[in-house]
Structure 1
């Protein structure tokens, strides 16, 4: 007999564990972010300490093998209720039940309520968590037992929401009081824009349905503050405490301080770049011309008749089985037909005779960057002929070269408002949004406007490509002196950047950025210019001037936390920061801080100017 067989045979059965009362309960706190109090505890079951069945995974695997899952769940709930009652803890007790266990409760409602009342824990303090949602085959079977539990005072929660088995269908049908967001979506949410967007969608639906959200799996301060600032009210995870047989009565000091942290989270949506290949759906919609097509069997006379009936049609596509096979340009076709005897000679001939059999084809889903490559390619036929637009390979319509240029340009300009296409840093809209969040929450911060001295002469001398490399270097230096969960870095445009600092050592960071950039920028000059200390060029008036190396200037203003009575706009704050930047460009150190009193005066002045302008 093998050792593994002996181990299995020596292990007690689930029935023996229940009979001998060898199950124990541990509790993990669920924290209310409003004040940092413990809202309640999730009760979790453990097997005999040090045994192969100590973990809940091993326990339920054994129960499943023995066909005793429902019995184990019932015993686990009773164990948690009794231990919770003995602990004399305040708050609610969250109990896990699978769909199978709830179906069993549905057949014995009085017994279920008696279970909840045992050991002196009132049903009003119980929250039933549905864990095994994949087994919910007939929701109608659950509605009566849920109604009975709610009538008795208990609440109902969906657990692990966002996993494959937790669907919005269940949320709508069961109308839970609480929805616990699966830890997958919370872990690293501070740096993952897709998780952030997924949770924000859950939050919107929770607001509409009236459900309370609990973020599971919070393990660090950064994730906590993002979740807190999103407006999610409760959290659970190792950051607040691990499961323990002796429940914590209060949140630990470090966790409480994190909940009450004065700085505002930098949402990952703000640092998210617009994809280097954004969807071309919007661009294709802008340039799509709905136009009739002709079949392969059509004659040149058919083409002539179509162009005569539709004088604004620049081309016509030849289509077979809904797929484009050729393109006939109006101007080229009509020029040929204007020649003597061409209509008589070629009018009844197939239209493919004068067609372009390899037209430029743009799929409707093509990315904007793929479209942009056409603009830079050697194949410029689309400028004269136009091109065909397809939807999943099927003919959808036509486009012109002019419309392609306009569509790509408009999409890129719109994208640049959200993220700069060179540095991929947040653009003006995310900058304004983050300033508004800081002001709305009365958070004190430093607005630091960054500019590069002598950048234009460098750009003129070395060209845009090398100028772009300097801008990307500046962006990398600035990003390196920002704490991404506290400090927001945006690219206003050109060589202008804006940092919204909440880090306490912000000034040290600013001075380090100036030093690192000023030294590193010199490597972008030719050796002879480095020896000369700069370059010769023309100033804005056309006068020959010597320009020293490109350097960084940063002007900063302090925006004090307020009482909410004065609300400055992002434009007003950026305007005053620009004043500081202009002073910094004249300062030999490249750094100027406008003190709090002058900052407040300048902000009030800008507020009055904007008020007078609007009126």
Structure 2
């Protein structure tokens, strides 16, 4: 006998089944109508260079009719897959895209999404895309087939053969959603795409996630070795953008840059400015040390809260932002306290913690004396201050202000990472013999000097006289020791006269360059020459010292007497001339050096 409960269950099941069938029928009819009426909308999202803020192309994105049940692309394409109509839908989307793309500038690319399954379809391989391109007068070199990695590829060998056919015709290939699909690195290794599009889940909050940063750095290194280009998808914040630029990711797209629009749109001027400024900052870091890089340049611009905020609001914020470890408390734009998550949760865990803190303002239990530093404070100074805190506070956020107003926060971890990175940068671009900054950093320092336009500076060019003859007689090993000795003398005297307000670089060989603030360098030059002359004799044997010269062949193979080495110093200042380019400084220094060389002993010339 059928019970009432079992009867009710059957009725509900039948009702749900009927409703599901009705819904499926509606979605099928909607798709059928879309295909018959070509009722598809195409929107375009720009793919932007993260180095110069130029748009390199647009990704074409398909949408169903507005306000319909298939408006969203996921609903549209999943319905097409269900009824085996993916080919028909993609053909419609591709045709609509190319029709619009005929008005696009020839230099811009169009990224067209393609399901791997339809590439095997004989209809795809018969040249319909080529026919469309001819019809709409488009260039195959501008078309990028974007293969989504969310669909498994079963036959790599056959799939690659088909792709080879298209690449031989000039088409390019992009792998979409890298990091979220079935095949992962194998897809990249087998297909060797022109572009690798990183899934937005890897980009989301990458500024706060060291593991994601490490993964993207590895993927970037892979792309360099395989001559592919990475496009980071789903950029939604300035901090994500800044992290991607610091890693070196060349291209990106996302709502922060520009949302998808029906027309080929530019990105806002303000966004261009942000990209260019972030790249300038990255370039400046190349020439910085931990004593010159302002801590504000690595600050994170986190949301701040007023001191009237109650505990449950703070708890909700921490829950919604797991990567956030602290909240800055700001009143009237000025920081007044800090609430670290670990300390807040520890208070809540006490016997009456919930009752005491959840509905009361965080003013009562915030740290009222956090470490607050100005934007321009060098990170080395901040690091020392941070490490001097009590053990319980070592890992607390450091609050950054700009003109006494709240600007952002930085962690001790970020400071130590940046310090290490700066040291590695300096080492990478340093002269291997002396460890002094090499040509790339020297150019940066000179460029910075001219751009500051602050005046009252001196550029000193040092050159050893008769060094080649010494090298020929005493050998390269002794010659290297003389170069290191020269660097040591210049550096010691520079620091004794100008402390840290100076720069010394090693151009190469026996040439050095120094920059000082203050163009009265007469006493400095005299001190350097005196120390050099006094100690250089230690690098000769007694016989040569007593004789005052060494005898060896000159450049023409004729024996010649060469005096003990001397030091020429050409000094360029802005006393008589306002220099605008590095070349102008170099030309003046070269003329002064020639004057010095006319003197057969250590000397200096100042202009």
Instruction: Provide the TM-score with structure 2 as the length reference.
Output: 0.48
Instruction: Provide the TM-score with structure 1 as the length reference.
Output: 0.47
